[in-house]
Amino acid sequence: MNMANMMSFIKPELLVFNDLILKSSAPYLWVLLGIVFAIILSVLNKINKKWFVFIFMLIFACLGVRSAFRLMNEPAVLLFNQMLISDSFGSFFNILFLGSAIITALSSFRYLDKQEIQHPEYYILLLLSSLGMMLMASALDLIVLFIALEIMSLAVYVLVGFRRHDRKSNEAALKYFILGSVASVMFLYGAALLYGVTATTQIREILKHVQTSQGAMSPLFVVGVGLILFGFLFKVACVPLHMWMPDVYEGAPTPITGFMTAGLKAAAFAAFIRVFTTLGYGTALSAQLQNHFHDLLWVFAVATMVVGNLVALLQTNLKRMLAYSSIAHSGYLLVGILSGCLNQEGYAPLLVYLMAYVVMNLGAFAVLSFLASRDDTGLSLYDLSGLSKRHPVFSFCLAVFLFSMAGLPPTVGFVGKYWLFYSAVQAGEISLVVISVLCSAVSVYYYLRVLVYVYMQDEVSSFGEQRSLSIFYHFAVGLMVICTLQWGLMPSSLLQIAKKVVMSF
Amino acid sequence: MAWFNSHLLTNVVFFPLLWAGLGFLIPVGKQHEAGFIKFWTFVGTVITFMFSVVLYIQFDPNVFEFQFIEFVPWIAEIGVSYHFGIDGISLWLILLTTFLSPIVILSSFSAIGHRLREYYFLLLVLESGMLGAFVSLDLFLFYVFWEVMLVPMYFLIGIWGGKERIYAALKFFLFTVVGSLLMLVAIFYLAYLHKIQFGVYSTSILDLYRVRTLANGILSPQALLFLAFALAFAVKVPMFPLHTWLPDAHVQAPTAGSVILAGVLLKMGGYGFIRFAFPLFPEAVRIFQGAFLILGTTAVLYGAWVSMVQPDIKKLVAYSSVSHMGFVIIGLFSLNSISVTGSIYQMLNHGISTGGLFLLVGILYERRHTREIKDFGGITRVMPLFSVAFMITALSSIALPGTNGFIGEFLILLGTWKEHSILAGVSALCVIFGAIYMLWAFQRMMFGPIKNKENETLKDLNFREIVVIVPIIICIFFMGIFPNFFFNKMNASVQKFLSQAGESSTIVYKSIPPQEVKRAQQ
């Protein structure tokens, strides 16, 4: 495509905002507006920055959630020269990302006070990375996707290193930055190769190109798609691309770890689904591509589940244990990716599991943020001894989240796993399901071990320090517990939404 | 009241849970808390028992189908429904559960000293879970109750148990979860087959009974599905090579936990075979019949032998459970109406007599804080009432004629004799071993001189303990003398079960002939 073509491609009328575009891009605009406002507020000296920025961030995130809710039932709209799409799939994920940002902010507020790192930038970066995630889930162009990925990643790199007086946090940020950059480069290189083959970066155009020309499924194309795949798999920490994760999760401030396990992973999976279904993964079109990647993903999924669960068995730090368990959950989610294209529910079970995973993880990390003492210590299993006597309510909530992660009824984790594996059986992946189920049996052990310390061990006297309770912790944890149990007992509405969202594709 | 009558099962199942929630929330001053929560929980379980008696009264013994059906779609997207219903088999297991619950609550009044609210809360939740599993007619719902049951038990063992409680609690939980997760995969596959064969999602077993699966060899789909289900239930029963969690869990659990574990949770395994594994996979049962019969007999032998050498009385009773539940497996897999009836009866017996033994051991432990047989001796002199109660319960466990145990074991052996006479013969020998270990332990503990000074001051049963043990003893004799009272409500369901699972015997009895029952009573 030469320059003149390019120029004719950009039509002036596309740069005009009409009502429809304004309405469809409302969630992004609210968040953007929130970021701008918060930046302005954070440089004003006369006000109590911490409260103002915090509350502004919450308000704008809530406004974003509200407009995303309104868009759930609207037909899909292409935005900005087909670079973005606003459909219910995107709205579903926008709600999920902004929701995780809100819960993270709530569980951060007192935590930051405790760590003495209460800076307004924290909330701005949180909102910024959510914006990146939102764009990732809605991008239809590889360049936009890359930019979104970078917006998200850069903000998160800074957040990971936010406890800057702690060497662990510094190490985590640097490690994450370097390795994350490698992943971004892989993704970018893959996009470049695809551009080389098809002369476009628009995903739908790439698909058209593949459909029309015979030789499109060239080795170059497969390598390009493969590199993009690796970029995603790095972000979701699949074995063997998981090495960065435990250190980063341990070094990051605890609420940010929660945000990363929830939002980051959901964003990567959303973009994954968006790109690969649009590229024809799972449709008859690219059976060739699919066969290549099916086996690859199968191996990845099994390795991720097995390694994640087995290594988690050995951890004595709760944060590190949840990091490995989050690797294991990536494995279950890959089962959903594998079976999504082969059964009639499509990716709906994957979305439900993702939702379940986000809810229970955010809840667990909110409890952890509350428990963490200064310098983020006090999160080893030993420190939790006798917790149920000191904090019965929080212990109960932690138990609910852990049972949900272990996939025991009546929690949303069970419903998610049930539907996910059920759909995988329908897709004919029985051996994979047997492996996953055995892996989750292993996982029961390390989740229960936490409860052994919380409920069955005697209290350790030296940890009687006063923790600053705040209404925000209660709100965040309470909301997540309600979601976990509500969707565990009455999951119909969630399943219906997921089905509808997938239909919108 | 109309609502109460039309939703009887929901009421029975969820009443303990509701009551537990209320009890947990009602604020009571510190000084009255212990008394209040004990009283509250006891009343709750008694009310549940009354509900289940209403169930018994309204139950029609002549109906072959499930009764008291409640059906509400729950998760329509995956065909899951809230589907309750009982037949003559689950009726008795429900009654067993609601009967044992007030007894164990009463028995733990003095045994449990800390975290009372949580303790009684968990016991009530456990009761709800067990009742739910017995009435569920939907595999998803059953699985939910099946797993929910584990959680309170895990905490009961882990918080209020003995020295090795944490190890025992984890072992108990993991064994059961690993077994049941493979069952979950089998449920997926079965529901998927239903979807293929009938075009709609459903996990209701009444629908799944219609699913036909290929059964030609031990690696055919039906055989594998059966094995997945059987593994879950065999762990729970527990069958011979999978029993190792049981002695640990039983010994470490508080008395109430042991009684519930022996009395009801083990029955869950047998019930699972009857309700799910057999009718869903009748051809596969044939394939594995021999193997399971041999494993059952091994369990009977092994349990009896290992019991003989136990120095710890609670462990002895625990291993005797392995032996008794081996009989249940033999009876079920013999697949004729006599042995199956015997098996179901044996499950009830085992709940009563082994539950009773655990209660008595618990009473003794509260006084002496030891369970070693060698620490006792001459207890008859100081605790005459206790010794009598122990004697009766032990004899029922040995299966002395006139007690309940005899009817069960006799029917099982009689039914098995027709086709598998060698196995029946071996198992019959084990009854003798049973008498040896039980009577020998009884002799060492109760008779002879009082060797240990501390035993001289032991107090006999107090009023509360008598109230705990008397219903058990009444049950032992009642079930031993009037078995037809129980068979009457069971027969139709047993016939239906056999028609689904396919009888193996060429001699088909429509019900147990009266002369057999009479012979059993003599």
The three-state secondary structure class of B62 is coil
Q: Which whole number is the average pLDDT over B65-80?
A: 87
Count CB neighbours of A435 within 10 A.
18
- CB contact (8 A) between residue A425 and residue B140: no
Cα angle B215-B218-B223, degrees, rounded to a multiple of 5: 50
Burial A252-277 (b: 16+ CB within 10 A, else e): bbbbbbbbbbbbbbbbbbbbbbbbbb
Query: Please, what is the average pLDDT of chain B?
Result: 87
The three-state secondary structure class of B67 is strand
The yes-or-no verdict on residue A7 having pLDDT over 80 is no
Task: Kindly report, residue by residue over B231-278, the tens digit of the pLDDT.
Answer: 999 999 888 888 889 989 998 999 999 999 988 999 999 999 999 988
Q: Which residues of A touch B151 (CB under 8 A)?
A: 403, 408
The pLDDT-based confidence of B506 (bands split at 50, 70, 90) is: very low
Tell me the count of A-B CB pairs closer than 8 A.
Answer: 83
Between A257 and A4, residue with greater pLDDT: A257
- CB contact (8 A) between residue B181 and residue A409: no
Nearest to B192 among A403, A425, A496 (CB): A425
The pLDDT-based confidence of A414 (bands split at 50, 70, 90) is: very high
Interface pTM, i.e. ipTM: 0.89
**Considering chain A, what percentage of its residues have pLDDT values greater than 90?**
34
Task: Determine contact, residues A10/A83, Cβ cutoff 8 Å.
Answer: no
Mutate which of A414, A422, A496 to test chain B, going by most B C-beta atoms within 10 A? A422
Task: Determine contact, residues A327/A405, Cβ cutoff 8 Å.
Answer: no
The residue of chain B nearest to residue A406, with distances taken between CA atoms, is B177
- CB contact (8 A) between residue B165 and residue A455: no
The pLDDT-based confidence of A2 (bands split at 50, 70, 90) is: low
Task: Kindly report, residue by residue over B322-332, the tens digit of the pLDDT.
Answer: 999 999 999 99
**Considering chain A, what percentage of its residues have pLDDT values greater than 70?**
91
Nearest to A410 among B77, B144, B155 (CB): B144
Is the Cα dihedral B457, B461, B464, B469 positive or negative? Answer: positive
At a CB cut-off of 8 Å and minimum separation 6, what does B22 contact?
none
Query: Please, what is the average pLDDT of chain A?
Result: 85
Task: Kindly report, residue by residue over B358-379, the tens digit of the pLDDT.
Answer: 999 998 888 888 888 888 888 8
Burial B15-47 (b: 16+ CB within 10 A, else e): bbbebbeebeeeeeeeeeeeeebbebbbebbeb
Question: Rounded CA gap, A250 and A160, in Å?
Answer: 10
> Which of B146, B238, B239, B139 has the alpha carbon at shortest distance from B189?
B139
Three-class DSSP labels, B279-294: HHCHHHHHHHHHHHHH
Question: Rounded CA gap, B148 and B51, in Å?
Answer: 22
Of A4-13, A415-424, B58-67, highest mean pLDDT: A415-424
- CB contact (8 A) between residue B143 and residue A438: no
- CB contact (8 A) between residue A495 and residue B147: no
Distance from CA of A456 to the nearest CA of B (A): 5
Mutate which of B156, B181, B187, B200 to test chain A, going by most A C-beta atoms within 10 A? B181
| Angle between the N-to-C axes of helices B8-25 and B88-107, in degrees from 0 to 180, rounded to the nearest 10 | 20
Strands B67-75 and A84-86: unpaired
Q: Which residues of B touch A419 (CB under 8 A)?
A: 77-78
My answer on whether omega of the bond before A240 falls inside 30° of 0, hence cis, is yes
The yes-or-no verdict on residue A240 having pLDDT over 80 is yes
Task: Kindly report, residue by residue over A94-151, the tens digit of the pLDDT.
Answer: 999 999 999 999 998 888 888 888 888 899 999 999 999 999 998 988 999 999 999 9
Amino acid at A345: E
Mutate which of A398, A456, A485, A490 to test chain B, going by most B C-beta atoms within 10 A? A456
The yes-or-no verdict on residue A293 having pLDDT over 90 is no
Q: Which whole number is the average pLDDT over A334-352?
A: 84
Between B459 and B511, residue with greater pLDDT: B459
A434 at B interface, C-beta within 8 A: yes
Q: Which residues of A touch B184 (CB under 8 A)?
A: 418, 421, 437
Four-point Cα dihedral A278, A281, A284, A290, nearest 10:
160
Run of H or E including B71: strand B67-75
Run of H or E including A87: none
A448 at B interface, C-beta within 8 A: yes
Tell how many helices (H) and how many strands (E) occur in chain A. Answer: 22, 2
DSSP string, B214-264: --SSTTSHHHHHHHHHHHHHHHHTT-GGG-THHHHHHHHS-HHHHHHIIII
Distance from CA of A499 to the nearest CA of B (A): 9
The three-state secondary structure class of A23 is helix
The residue of chain B nearest to residue A449, with distances taken between CA atoms, is B170
The pLDDT-based confidence of B505 (bands split at 50, 70, 90) is: very low
Chain B residues with CB under 8 Å of a chain A CB are: 74-78, 140, 143-144, 147-148, 150-151, 154-155, 158-159, 165-166, 169-170, 173-174, 177-178, 181-182, 184-185, 188-189, 191-192, 195
- CB contact (8 A) between residue A425 and residue B188: yes
Residue where the block lists tokens 């045994």: B111
At a CB cut-off of 8 Å and minimum separation 6, what does B125 contact?
B16, B17, B20, B148, B151, B152
A437 at B interface, C-beta within 8 A: yes
> Which of A223, A224, A204, A220 has the alpha carbon at shortest distance from A212?
A204
Task: Kindly report, residue by residue over A466-480, the tens digit of the pLDDT.
Answer: 566 678 888 889 999
| Beta-bridge partners for A77 | A86
Run of H or E including B86: strand B80-86
Q: Which residues of B touch A339 (CB under 8 A)?
A: none
At a CB cut-off of 8 Å and minimum separation 6, what does B502 contact?
B282, B285, B286, B335
Question: Rounded CA gap, A329 and A54, in Å?
Answer: 31
The pLDDT-based confidence of A168 (bands split at 50, 70, 90) is: confident
Q: What pLDDT score was predicted for residue B5?
A: 80
- CB contact (8 A) between residue B143 and residue A499: no
> Which of A261, A255, A234, A37 has the alpha carbon at shortest distance from A126?
A255
The three-state secondary structure class of B312 is strand
Q: How many residues does chain A have?
A: 505
Task: Kindly report, residue by residue over B465-489, the tens digit of the pLDDT.
Answer: 999 999 999 999 999 899 888 888 8
Between B103 and B380, residue with greater pLDDT: B103
Nearest to A440 among B76, B151, B181 (CB): B181
- CB contact (8 A) between residue B77 and residue A410: no
- CB contact (8 A) between residue A440 and residue B75: no
Four-point Cα dihedral B361, B363, B365, B366, nearest 10:
160
Q: What pLDDT score was predicted for residue B511?
A: 47
Q: What pLDDT score was predicted for residue A3?
A: 56
Question: Rounded CA gap, B465 and B458, in Å?
Answer: 14
Question: Rounded CA gap, A80 and A78, in Å?
Answer: 7
The pLDDT-based confidence of B219 (bands split at 50, 70, 90) is: confident
Cα angle A197-A202-A207, degrees, rounded to a multiple of 5: 65
Tell how many helices (H) and how many strands (E) occur in chain B. Answer: 24, 2
Task: Kindly report, residue by residue over A14-41, the tens digit of the pLDDT.
Answer: 666 778 888 888 899 999 999 998 888 8
- CB contact (8 A) between residue A418 and residue B140: yes
Q: What pLDDT score was predicted for residue B141?
A: 92
The pLDDT-based confidence of B508 (bands split at 50, 70, 90) is: very low
The yes-or-no verdict on residue B154 having pLDDT over 50 is yes
Paired tokens of A407:
């996939």
The three-state secondary structure class of B399 is coil
- CB contact (8 A) between residue B189 and residue A445: no
The three-state secondary structure class of B20 is helix
Residue B65 DSSP symbol:
S
Burial B267-298 (b: 16+ CB within 10 A, else e): bbbbbbbbbbbbbbbbbbbbbbbeebbbbbbb
The three-state secondary structure class of B136 is strand
Q: pTM here? A: 0.91
